[in-house]
Structure 1
């Protein structure tokens, strides 16, 4: 609750500071994870998760209370992998991390602006809009890059004489949750844009 003179209370400042610090920590962790994924992808051997077409788990066949059991993914480690495939797999891991860093930077800036009681900064709406676009792009393009990369891995295995009948030749599966959050952030950015306009109009009347 604000004090009588309109200043933010100490409790509010501490809470907002904790949120801002948490946003920075999450952003750093996401960036570190992306770097680790890049080191793994450009190392050797390269573990690549490949989706399989429902291969039965024979170990559970006929087990008590089990109606059906099957594998949906297999991790294949390759000693050699084309650079183009590595970049596609890196893009799959890096895009969500980049979107997370942008969102966390925006939340940190928002928290700092609220602490200073300057929420309707001119930079706030563009930052929220950028974070919204980042979430939508990462949510849709990251799994597509991964799907193309894994498809090329399957082609490489088939060319080497491996039976790839159990693998999907191409499987694109997008998580729409980041897209939904991106749309929500876009609405928040619009609200901040309206708030800035109202603030300018109010200041012009004073």
Structure 2
């Protein structure tokens, strides 16, 4: 048996090891980011970024060479915020981090499988499918939770007597990037499923 066909070269093993290590590092960083966001959200004061419906930026409106200047975000810090709104804001931050962890775990497992020359193991397709589903679902629900939370924050401002003119009452901004990556990852999973079937057919002929 030719050992060169059974094991990756040193450069390939190093590259795959770096990919696996990078995936783990990104996953850990995502977890720490979500934890930091949770500490900030459940602390006091609570900074909330609220979308603004095109408020004019007077300091630049009359400057030479400036056609228009508007604010699109306003950060408002609250001394108190109800628990439901805090949990929605946490879900907005935590769901993308969860999807990142799942994708990184899939990449780590893929890198390890390639090092061991077992890319078409049975667990690979379910892992890739789970990662693809996580990207699509969190890409849709994360912004929705954030939009609901910010709508509640604007309602709280209005109830306190503050002028909420200019703030969006409800703004759901869908990021299609994560959905596109999820679809691409699902196609990769389909390719691995086809590879598994071809491998079984090949082994059956031997």
TM-score range for the pair, normalised by the shorter chain length: over 0.9
CA RMSD, aligned part only? Answer: 1.1
**Residues 111-120 or 57-66, more deviating:** 57-66
Q: Which segments of structure 1 move beyond 3 Å, counting only runs of 4 or more?
A: 2-6
Cα deviation code 1:31-84 (max 9, x no counterpart): 100000001001111000000111111101210110000100000000111100
Give the match for residue 183 of structure 2: 183
Cα deviation code 1:136-178 (max 9, x no counterpart): 0111110000000000000000001001011000000011000
Q: State how many pairs are aligned.
A: 205
Cα deviation code 1:96-136 (max 9, x no counterpart): 00000000000000000000000001000000000000000
- SS for the counterpart of 1:77 is strand
Give the match for residue 172 of structure 1: 172
Give the match for residue 159 of structure 1: 159
The unaligned stretches of length 5 or more in structure 2 are none
The unaligned stretches of length 5 or more in structure 1 are none
- So what's the TM-score if we normalise by structure 1? 0.97
Give the match for residue 36 of structure 1: 36
- SS for the counterpart of 2:48 is strand
Work out whether 1:133 is the aligned partner of 2:133.
yes
- SS for the counterpart of 1:20 is helix
* Kept after mapping to 2: 8 A contact 1:20/1:112: yes
- So what's the TM-score if we normalise by structure 2? 0.97
- SS for the counterpart of 1:156 is helix
- Taking the TM superposition and a 5 Å limit, the aligned residue runs for 1:110-129 are 110-129=110-129
